[in-house]
Amino acid sequence: MEDDHTEDLLMIDTGDPRWQELIDFDARLYRKKQLRLLTPEARVLLRLMIGGPLRVNEAMEVAATSYKGFYAVLERLKRAGLVSLTKDEKDHRARNLTIER
């Protein structure tokens, strides 16, 4: 029987440089050929797993979607229980996107 624990699902070796290489390859491929290897959800999740929390505006840049498209991505990730929004401790107007553990 398959276990559906998010913490197990999101376990990657964040010290492995190949994850960042994958993100970088996706960005280069887009710059050169306007093609994406990774979905917006994958780009956001990988960036969160490698680098930790992101401000919403930073996550929007990582997702590389429109404003409306980003909020659809965010809703899918939240509905799946993969991410959550928290108040930024330094700027209470801002929100940070974090991995849900």
Rounded to an integer, the average pLDDT of 9-22 is 87
Question: Is the pLDDT confidence value at 16 over 60?
Answer: yes
The reply to whether 1 falls in a domain is no
Model confidence pLDDT, tens digit, residues 17-50: 999 999 999 999 999 999 999 999 999 999 999 9
Model confidence pLDDT, tens digit, residues 59-100: 999 999 999 999 999 999 999 999 999 998 888 888 999 998
Question: Residue 41: is it exposed, middle or buried by C-beta count within 10 angstroms (0-12/13-18/19+)?
Answer: middle
Residue ranges making up the domain that contains 24: 15-99
CATH number of the domain within which 48 lies: 1.10.10.10
Query: b or e along 11-39 (b: 16 or more beta carbons within 10 Å of the residue's beta carbon)?
Result: eeeeeeeebeeebeebbeeeeeeeeeebe
pTM value?
0.84
User: What pLDDT sits at residue 17?
Assistant: 93
Total domains present in the chain: 1
